[in-house]
Amino acid sequence: MGFGDELTKDIMDMKPVGFNGKLYSSKYGRDFETEYSVVEIKPYISDPNKLKLTIDGLDNVDWFRQKYKEFQKRIGIKIQPKQPKMKIS
């Protein structure tokens, strides 16, 4: 994702850490920029024994998805909402 050593250490110490700059998403193959965000490791509500990385309170996957949608909108790509699939009996 592109966090430096010191920032990674603070994140691993379970501290909320503010940062700015670019984060890389391998899923989208690009950097996403943020003026200010907070990253931290939190336990899942449904299973406190499992941990997740959050950015601005969102799961990191959801944060990147949101940033990608914002990027698409900025460059003029219209996003069609997914239509629910109907089952035919």
**C-alpha angle 64/67/72, rounded to 5°?**
125
In a domain, 41, yes or no: yes
Mean confidence (pLDDT) of the chain: 87
pLDDT digits (tens, 9 = 90+) for 25-36: 999 989 999 999
Residue range(s) defining the domain that contains residue 53 = 5-74
In a domain, 84, yes or no: no
User: Can you give the pLDDT at residue 7?
Assistant: 85
Residue pair 37/57 in contact (Cβ under 8 Å)? The answer is: no
In a domain, 53, yes or no: yes
Distance CA 60, CA 53 (A): 6
Number of domains in the chain: 1
Average pLDDT for 13-21: 90
Report pTM: 0.75
User: Is residue 52 very low, low, confident or very high in pLDDT (cuts 50, 70, 90)?
Assistant: very high
User: Can you give the pLDDT at residue 75?
Assistant: 84
In a domain, 86, yes or no: no
